[in-house]
Structure 1
Amino acid sequence: MKKFARGVAVALGLSVMAGGASAESLNLALSGASPSGLWSLLGAGLDRAVKATDPDSVITYQTTGGGFANIALLSADRTDLGLAHDAELKLALAGEDPFKAPITNVQAIGYMYNWAPMHFFLKKSIADEYGIDSIDDLAKSGAAIRVANNNAGNVVANITTFMLDEAGFDEATIEKNGGVMVRGGSSQQVDLIHDGRTDMVINGIFVGHSSFMSVDRDEDVVLLSVPAEIIEKTNEKFGTGTYTIPGGKYRNQAGDVETVALGALLVASEDLPEETGYELAKSIVEHIDEIRSVHSAMAPLSPELLVSQKTLPFNAGAERAYKELGLLN
């Protein structure tokens, strides 16, 4: 593999040393997203995991535009590792927008999480007035609703648009009913609803995430349900999974709400050496508490979750490590 623009060299496989064959220390670049979000914490946890095996190993986190950008970097052999949502990888494999052709030269190291469900929060006053308790009630209600979708270029925006379209609540219908669609990330959406500039916020985010907890705490909102057929179609297109938000997680949510959830994978180029993948996967499993400890949202991470992804083939070395550890047959 190559050296990259930021000067991070790649660690390679095995070398013969004076005392015999010994694995070299890992020195890998990990492409994530923002410098302050969960993915940066995952980068820190992965770095700690490989250091627990070998203090000279290092995983260097680098900021990028997110999963879509990371897949492109891996495909072009410009980074060693990347984080990407399963939905982004599904679009990449199919060559769908924003990709111009199918990308097939990426492989999985492991599933990092699969519990970031889509939330559809609507102001309770509107829900009560128009009898809205599901996203398929939105269009037929005729209500003028100011809807906050995620920023264009974020896969959550793709999923939101698809789900609203399936519910008959596309942007044309929103505008016909006297509403409007605005764009913003999770923190921007919080500001929009707090400032009275939107009536509905939508995001794929961990249950209990601080941004949407503040919406639930400071605004009188309800969590809308999602029809089973929309969940099924969304999962088929984006590789998401069905997820139940337990009743009582939010103030006005008495019962369970089923929706879809995004997951994120640790991914490598198919050129990542087998022995590197082996050492990396083995360190992750053996020191998984280093990753769990970076944030309370990562507490459910388990070795079994790591190997449960079905989106990509595993790196051969990672697969070998998982088989040796009894996680794969």
Structure 2
Amino acid sequence: MSRTFKRLIAPVLAAGTLAASPLSAENLEWTSGSPGGSWFSIVTGLSNIIMEHNPDIAIRVVPGGGRDNPTKIEGGISQMGMGIDFLAAAAMKGMDPYDQPQEKLTSMGGTWAPAEFHVIVDAEETRSLEEILSDPESRIGTSPRATSEELTLQRSLAFYDNSADAIADGGGTVITGTYSQLTAAFQDDQIDVLFGAGSVPTGIALEVETGRRDAKLLAFPEALMDYLNTEYGYGKGSIAAGSYESLQSEESGAVPVTTLEAVILVSTEVPEDTVYAMTKTLLENQEGFGNIYQVLGGFDAERAWQNQPVPLNPGAERAYRELGYMD
């Protein structure tokens, strides 16, 4: 072989070697939730664990929402995303609120961040949540349209024959924004109701507690919880007594609320070995979860892979099996 031919072919061979290497860098975007919310904090913490133990994997955390994240994954905008169980199932099937099936969705497992809905009102508010959601003059703030909170507010208003448009026509308002924007609007008396969701203790509730306006949590009516559960697959639970210092009185006890179960969604286009490495890393570093966010301390690897709303990713399944969580 001539020296000239060797010089010409060497770059080609090197490129082929790099392409086949299992250590080639993976650049992933992980879409989370609203900035300042529990999902954003959780995803940031989990991605840092993954990158610390896998230098070949680079993850960029971006804002997102439970409703929009499956579509971002399907469109190739993000490769990973936090998801809500009932929304992920609807996305895969192309059911409301999705126009067509989202076929690239797989799961790395659940139980990462169960979330409770928080309805926060002025401490002197005398109306029930049923009365507030029925009132065309209500002033309500919730997360942006890409989020499960905004979708759930729409469904809750509809249950009481109300809507954001009807509220606007009736003299009230429904605004959307980040948690910090909503908290500021509440403190400045621009809205009377904060409608959000997050893992207890969630950021928006803690921000309100440190503000100048006294506030409290409202319970979900049983009829509304039953409707959201039977029609859309939401969970039913409560915010335990004493979860918040000033939003709950000593005599109020647990606050019944609608709940969500979070899953980590990952695109079918992410290599199986990459999903395996990420899942295995998280499973091997569970002791640090509680330091990221309190609710992560309750992560249950024995249950995390079960009853997923979309198929469990083969790479994730391999990690659960290898570490003894699956038979």
TM-score in same-fold range (> 0.5): yes
Q: Which residue of 2 aligns with 1:147?
A: 140
Q: Is 1:195 aligned to residue 188 of structure 2? A: yes
In the alignment, which residue of structure 1 is the partner of 2:46?
46
Q: Residue deviations 1:130-189, cap 9 Å, x none?
A: xx34x223367x694322233323221001121232244434664676533333332222
Percent of residue pairs identical:
22
Partner residue of 1:6? none
Structure 1 residues 264 and 61, CA, compared in 2 at 3 Å: closer, same or farther? farther
Counterpart mapping for 1:1-329 below 5 A: 24=23, 27-33=26-32, 38-51=38-51, 53-54=53-54, 56-63=55-62, 65-77=64-76, 79-96=78-95, 99-111=98-110, 113-127=112-126, 132-133=127-128, 135-138=129-132, 144-171=137-164, 174=167, 179-217=172-210, 218-250=212-244, 251=246, 252-253=248-249, 254-304=252-302, 306-308=304-306, 310-329=308-327
State TM-score, norm by structure 1: 0.76
Q: 1:144 to 1:222 in 2, by over 3 A?
A: farther
SS at the partner of 1:293? helix
The amino acid of 2:315's aligned partner reads: G
Q: Tell whether the 8 Å contact from 2:66 to 2:87 is kept in structure 1 after alignment.
A: yes
- Alpha carbons of structure 1 residues 245 and 62: separation in structure 2 relative to 1, 3 Å: closer
User: Can you give the 5+ residue segments of structure 1 that lack an aligned partner in the other structure?
Assistant: 1-11, 16-22
TM-score, normalised relative to structure 2: 0.77
The more displaced of 190-199 and 161-170 is 161-170
Deviation at 1:77, TM superposition (A): 4.2
* SS of match in other structure, 2:201: coil
Greater Rg over alpha carbons, structure: 2
Distance 1:66 1:202, change over 3 A: closer
| Structural RMSD (CA) | 3.4
C-alpha distance in structure 1 between counterparts of 2:75 and 2:166, whole Å? 40
In 2, Cα distance between equivalents of 1:171 and 1:48: 39
**What per-residue deviation string (whole Å, max 9, x for no partner) do you get for residues 198-242 of structure 1?**
211111123333432332453233322113332233234544322
Q: Which residues of structure 2 form unaligned runs of 5+? A: 1-17
How far has the Cα of 1:26 moved from its partner? Answer: 6.5
Question: Residue 112 of structure 2: SS of its match in structure 1?
Answer: strand
**Is the 1:292–1:299 contact (alpha carbons within 8 Å) kept by the matching residues of 2?**
yes
